[in-house]
Structure 1
Amino acid sequence: MTRARRRLRYLIAAFGALALTAQLGINSPEAEASTDLRFWHFNMCGNVCWQPDAPHNYLPGTDSRGEVTVRAAQIVESVGNYSPDIVTLNEACYSQYRGIRAALVAQGYHATYASSGTGGQCDDYDASEGNGFGMALFSKQPIAAPRETHNLGTAANPNLLLCADTALGSRPVKACSVHLTAASAEQRAFQATNLAALASGWHATKPVVLMGDFNAEPLDPVMAKFYSHSGGEGIFHEADESDADYSASWPAGAVRGRSGEITFSSEATSPPTLKKIDYIFLSGADFRAVEGDSLYGGERRISDHRVYRGGAAWQ
């Protein structure tokens, strides 16, 4: 039996033994997109969010290595239930990525990963391999090689962008896993400017999909670089821009705006921090009928972020 098959069998066994489905919210009433194209994003929080005896610790009394495996199993199940065309992950430990990759490749996905550091955010096994905290991108269609990365920051303050030339059905697209810095607004604005410029250049020849944690809320000035409406100067629709439950900030009479469901929650503050900082941006000239769905896993969730899914149709 190959290593990939052994890993897949282990993950499948973990699903039944731990009854994980509900914790990522994948049984929510909005579980199915009504559009042809599907997108799935999650900031995993590596194994940083794991703490002994915390409510979200699925294996009380164990070390973080076991918890890494559990997170991988949950993600594979959630992706399998939704069947997205493109999947992106932020803050993924390399050991987590290996397990997820083995299972999703067995389901027909193609994968690429870029490490953004070693140790610290992941366990010693990751660090010893020279791989650590990073990001991943999966596609139902082949991913062009070699792996494509861009530094959105500077030499002193790098910020990695992972992209791939792939396709949605038969149409080529440029897809990227984005994670802008939380370190400072100045660095984030610099990175966002570079990202928007790259996206504009790519869009001269193909549709563009940007998915990830931008570490800024929709009405933050830096996000104007991406939205094509509501005061924005960018080229994108955002998956959850038409959710009427979050319309308080929309322009008068508008049917969409810079808003959407909560994608990040933390009880580290009082009151808890609740905000949207994860996005699925789709080039507006190419996509229509966008929709988004943020899934809350309840008290026993596995990250301070929520799974964020989107749908769209071709123009």
Structure 2
Amino acid sequence: MVDSLRTYLRNILAAATALLVAPAIAPQPAQAESTVRLTAMHWNVGGGWKYQTPGSSDLVVTKIFDTIKGKNPDFVALNEICQSQYAALTKRLQNETNWPQDKGNFVRFQATRNGTTDDGDVCDHKAVGIALLSRQPLGTANRFPLTPNPEYDKDEIRHLLCAPTTTMPVRYCVTHITPKPFGTFGKIQVNEVLRHVEDFEAAGDTVLVGGDFNATPSWPELNVWYDPSVNTPANGDNLGAYREMDDADPYCLGYGEGTTRATTGSPCGTGTKIDMIFFRANRLNGQHAGDSLPLSTCGSALCSDHRIYWGWADLSIG
């Protein structure tokens, strides 16, 4: 009886001692969410890759440079820009502004077509591609080739280019979708982009993706992108989880302003919109808006058949 009591007491003391000396392991708190207003700019320089005389190419670079200085965006997405123009723009932003927080780490470029002797006036036989620029420093880039469309794109390989910022859990992405035939190759590519963006969101990033999607908001191929909350007569049957910077435009609700030189083509009788800046609907924590700027001129000619597109959104991060 005594031995049993002693054994019982020893067990009690051992358990108590273990509790006293064992380190307390508290659950790690989740990173607190905050709301930031992220601003973004997209431009498909379009015919810009043809302007390879020094003066004309300089005008394209100057137009982008001046818009960045004037708008002070967090994120810039560019399509169809020559690598030489990208390099010149980078140098000017480094030397003439304080826009990038880290002047050695704020740009990423992905060639979609490498220059050959058969390319004619394309970037003076040098690479053309997509680029992203960030006011915040950038982490390692992700470069995803999209399904090729050799019949239309020839030797061009479309890509999704993404990079995270190092100062907040935000990732910027840029893409340029093939235009023809959109119902097959275009649809495949927009779905591929969506899968990658959803993976980043699932991992905790707030993602902005800008680019020329070569599709209008009302096309059924983009229903997998647009959130049902966007449904309007101009853009219905949506099944996705994303909002677009200009989808609250009062003149064409759910669609937005035109981003090309076309003055008709939308369900509202306004210009055609094919350039987008998407963000996930459940990240919206406030207001958002977009604006399609007037067509830019380079001397006496249009710089591009696309307008510079600008927007902002109050988004939750963390």
* Aligned twin of 1:218: 217
Please give the alpha-carbon distance, in whole angstroms, between the structure 2 residues aligned to 1:46 and 1:121.
Answer: 13
Give the C-alpha shift of residue 208 in structure 1.
1.3
Structure 2 contact 295–306 (Cα < 8 Å) conserved: no
Give the C-alpha shift of residue 297 in structure 1.
2.9
Q: TM-score, normalised by structure 1?
A: 0.72
Structure 1 contact 72–100 (Cα < 8 Å) conserved: yes
Q: TM-score, normalised by structure 2?
A: 0.71
Please give the alpha-carbon distance, in whole angstroms, between the structure 2 residues aligned to 1:84 and 1:124.
Answer: 26
**Is 2:142 the counterpart of 1:148?**
yes
Query: What is the aligned length?
Result: 248
Deviations 1:55-96 (A, max 9, x none): xxxxxxxx6332111110111011110000000100001111
Structure 1 contact 65–123 (Cα < 8 Å) conserved: no
Structure 2 contact 227–239 (Cα < 8 Å) conserved: yes
2:113 aligns to what SS in structure 1?
coil
Structure 2 contact 247–256 (Cα < 8 Å) conserved: yes
- Map 1:190-269 onto structure 2 (within 5 A): 190-205=188-203, 206-229=205-228, 230=231, 231-247=237-253, 257=254, 259-265=255-261
Give the C-alpha shift of residue 166 in structure 1.
1.6
* Aligned twin of 1:175: 172
* Aligned twin of 2:5: none
Q: CA RMSD in A?
A: 2.5
Structure 1 contact 37–312 (Cα < 8 Å) conserved: yes
1:135 aligns to what SS in structure 2?
strand
Structure 1 contact 42–90 (Cα < 8 Å) conserved: yes
Change in Cα spacing, 1:112 to 1:122, as seen in structure 2 (3 Å) is farther
* Aligned twin of 1:307: 308
**Is 2:84 the counterpart of 1:88?**
no
The structure with the largest alpha-carbon Rg is: 2
Give the C-alpha shift of residue 287 in structure 1.
2.6
Give the C-alpha shift of residue 123 in structure 1.
4.7
5+ unaligned residues in a row in structure 1: which ranges? 1-34, 51-62, 248-256, 268-272
* Aligned twin of 1:102: 91
* Aligned twin of 2:108: 112
Please give the alpha-carbon distance, in whole angstroms, between the structure 2 residues aligned to 1:221 and 1:188.
Answer: 12
Structure 2 contact 149–185 (Cα < 8 Å) conserved: no
- Map 1:33-48 onto structure 2 (within 5 A): 36-47=37-48
5+ unaligned residues in a row in structure 2: which ranges? 1-35, 232-236, 264-269
- Map 1:51-90 onto structure 2 (within 5 A): 64-90=53-79
Q: For residue 222 of structure 1, what is the amino acid of its counterpart? A: E
Change in Cα spacing, 1:123 to 1:155, as seen in structure 2 (3 Å) is closer
* Aligned twin of 1:26: none
Q: For residue 239 of structure 2, what is the amino acid of its counterpart? A: E
Give the C-alpha shift of residue 277 in structure 1.
0.1
Structure 1 contact 47–122 (Cα < 8 Å) conserved: no
- Map 1:24-39 onto structure 2 (within 5 A): 36-39=37-40
Give the C-alpha shift of residue 122 in structure 1.
5.1
Give the C-alpha shift of residue 154 in structure 1.
4.1
Of stretches 191-200 and 39-48 in structure 1, the one that deviates more from structure 2 is 39-48
Structure 1 contact 46–93 (Cα < 8 Å) conserved: no
Change in Cα spacing, 1:293 to 1:150, as seen in structure 2 (3 Å) is same
